[in-house]
């Protein structure tokens, strides 16, 4: 994870905040929001804990949040209550050249209240591993006939790699459109870092599992594949996954169907194939929310995505019967690191002129990432 931009030492020490009650922290956060007004946007991902969501200006999925931030004209500071790659994307979009020109070169500062809020999936694909895999693939395949596609849940360095190599970023809502875009250009795709989103999407397009070799970055040679498997490939999948969505299992689906006849299973495409194929409906966090909102009262759901979002849907839709699709608590532990103490600490330092945890993507990486993100917008 790249370090935050160097700044003056923080005026306030994080330790002072850890012993404060949530009510006191919330009041102080509100005071900073009031003093900075529209110059500050506090953004919260759908998977955040409720105490944080109660204090944000906007909530949404990672792409929606970045887009909202990028579109804002008054905003000069963003506190991103999400994970590291989301703050990077917000920095790239909010500070793209035309936006900087509109502000006479003034940057929007993006802060991540706790730098330890990473994403285990994004961390499963380091840029050095991707470059090594690409070089190895070029020895056995025509690299000009492969389009790299990265899920938005990846480091900016991967997005830049994709931009440089004629590829595209996708989200969980436009993965099929991104693959269509890629196949209009080349006969093969390399998809990273989430194998499940890649596999579930490609299977839905009629591509067989035998045409989707899995690239293990820790294998000695060719990601653990033989040359023949790579030559018959359509989509080369990266061996990465979301540790939250991996927890949902086919037996959980069977258990809910048996206990609650008529229940609908609704899952995120980061779930494994075995679960995804058993579900009645699937989609991004945005689609999951809209599906529940549109359902008639009395509908029964077992939902396979992060716990905080499912619990919030349960509270907001008492007219429906909503269950979490696992007997085991699975939440995004890294997202959970953004608590009110970190948010208050980072905002008070921002207001005092000693910002902490600034996420700033270097110019070259931002430029190529933007190329890949803009291609994603074309297929939206
Ligand atoms: S839920 Fe999974 S993919 Fe999303 S931020 Fe957490 S670890 Fe990453």
Nearest atom in ligand 1 to 120's CA? 7
360, 110 Cβ separation under 8 angstroms:
yes
Cα(200) to centroid of ligand 1, in Å? 17
Distance (Å, rounded) from C-alpha 143 to C-alpha 137? 7
Cα(246) to centroid of ligand 1, in Å? 11
Asked if residue 120 has its Cβ within 6 Å of ligand 1, the reply is yes
Among 244, 268, 306, the mutation site with the greatest number of ligand 1 atoms within 8 A of its Cβ is 244
Q: Which residues of 319-343 are buried (b: 16+ CB within 10 A; e: fewer)?
A: ebbbbbbbeeebbbebbbbbbbbbb
Asked if residue 244 has its Cβ within 6 Å of ligand 1, the reply is yes
Q: Which residues of 214-251 are buried (b: 16+ CB within 10 A; e: fewer)?
A: bbebeeeebbebeeebbeebbbbbbbbbbebbbbbbee
Asked if residue 121 has its Cβ within 6 Å of ligand 1, the reply is yes
Q: How far from 47 is each of 285, 293, 309, CA to CA, in Å?
A: 9, 17, 5
Q: Please tell me the predicted confidence (pLDDT) of residue 1.
A: 42
Asked if residue 242 has its Cβ within 6 Å of ligand 1, the reply is yes
Q: Whose CA is nearest to atom 8 of ligand 1?
A: 119
Cα(118) to centroid of ligand 1, in Å? 8
- Give the SS3 label for residue 79: strand
What pTM did the predictor assign?
0.94
Q: How far from 2 is each of 148, 361, 362, CA to CA, in Å?
A: 23, 9, 10
Helix and strand tally (H, E) in the chain?
17, 13
Q: Whose CA is nearest to atom 5 of ligand 1?
A: 119
Strands 188-192 and 168-170: unpaired
Asked if residue 271 has its Cβ within 6 Å of ligand 1, the reply is no
Asked if residue 61 has its Cβ within 6 Å of ligand 1, the reply is no
Distance (Å, rounded) from C-alpha 151 to C-alpha 235? 14
List residues bridging with 324 in a β-sheet.
303
Q: Whose CA is nearest to atom 1 of ligand 1?
A: 332
Q: Where are the alpha helices (DSSP H) in 260-339?
A: 273-276, 285-294, 307-316
Among 45, 62, 83, 268, the mutation site with the greatest number of ligand 1 atoms within 8 A of its Cβ is 83
265, 256 Cβ separation under 8 angstroms:
yes
Nearest atom in ligand 1 to 85's CA? 5
Q: Whose CA is nearest to atom 2 of ligand 1?
A: 242
Q: Please tell me the predicted confidence (pLDDT) of residue 7.
A: 58
Q: Where are the alpha helices (DSSP H) in the chain?
A: 15-18, 22-36, 50-53, 62-71, 84-94, 97-102, 127-140, 156-164, 175-183, 195-204, 227-231, 250-259, 273-276, 285-294, 307-316, 340-351, 363-378
Q: Which residues of the chain have pLDDT under 70?
A: 1-7, 380
**Residue-wise pLDDT tens digits, 134-147:** 999 999 999 999 99
Distance (Å, rounded) from C-alpha 217 to C-alpha 200? 21
Cα(8) to centroid of ligand 1, in Å? 31
| CA-only gyration radius of the chain, Å | 21
365, 157 Cβ separation under 8 angstroms:
yes
Q: Which of 12, 77, 22 is nearest to 51 (CA)?
A: 22
Q: Please tell me the predicted confidence (pLDDT) of residue 279.
A: 98
Among 81, 119, 268, the mutation site with the greatest number of ligand 1 atoms within 8 A of its Cβ is 119
Q: Please tell me the predicted confidence (pLDDT) of residue 68.
A: 83
Q: How far from 98 is each of 87, 105, 168, 274, 351, CA to CA, in Å?
A: 19, 9, 21, 45, 27
Nearest atom in ligand 1 to 122's CA? 8
């Amino acid at each position: 994870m790249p370090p935050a931009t160097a700044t003056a030492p923080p005026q306030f020490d994080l330790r002072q905040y850890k012993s404060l009650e949530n009510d006191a922290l919330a009041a102080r956060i509100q005071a900073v929001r009031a003093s900075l007004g529209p110059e500050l946007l506090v953004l919260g991902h759908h998977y955040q804990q409720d105490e944080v969501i109660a204090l944000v200006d906007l909530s949404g999925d990672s792409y929606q949040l970045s887009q909202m931030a990028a579109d804002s004209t008054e905003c000069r500071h963003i506190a991103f209550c999400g994970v590291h790659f989301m703050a990077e994307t917000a920095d790239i979009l909010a500070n793209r050249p035309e936006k900087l020109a509109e502000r006479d070169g003034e940057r929007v500062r993006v802060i991540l209240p706790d730098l330890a809020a990473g994403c285990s999936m994004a961390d499963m694909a380091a840029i050095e591993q991707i470059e090594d895999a690409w070089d190895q693939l070029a020895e056995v395949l025509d690299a000009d006939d492969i389009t790299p596609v990265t899920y938005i849940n990846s480091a900016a360095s991967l997005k830049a790699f994709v931009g440089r190599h004629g590829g595209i970023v996708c989200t969980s809502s436009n993965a099929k459109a991104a693959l269509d875009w890629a196949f209009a250009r080349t006969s093969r795709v390399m998809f990273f870092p989430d194998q499940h989103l890649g596999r579930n999407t490609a299977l839905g397009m009629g591509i067989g599992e035998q045409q989707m070799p899995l690239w293990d970055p820790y294998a000695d040679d060719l990601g653990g594949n033989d040359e023949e498997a790579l030559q018959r490939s359509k989509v080369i999948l990266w061996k990465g996954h979301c540790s939250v969505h991996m927890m949902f299992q086919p037996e959980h689906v069977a258990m809910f169907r048996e206990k609650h006849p008529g229940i609908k299973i609704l899952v995120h495409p980061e779930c494994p194939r075995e679960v995804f194929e058993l579900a009645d409906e699937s989609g991004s966090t945005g689609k999951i929310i809209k599906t529940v909102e549109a359902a008639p009262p009395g509908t029964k759901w077992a939902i396979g995505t992060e716990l905080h979002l499912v619990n919030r849907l349960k509270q907001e839709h008492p007219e429906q019967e909503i269950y979490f699709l696992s007997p085991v608590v699975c939440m995004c532990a890294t997202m959970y690191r953004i608590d009110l103490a970190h948010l208050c600490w980072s905002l008070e330092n921002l207001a005092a002129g000693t910002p902490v945890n600034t996420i700033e993507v270097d110019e070259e990486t931002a430029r190529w990432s933007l190329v890949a993100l803009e291609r994603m917008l074309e297929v939206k």
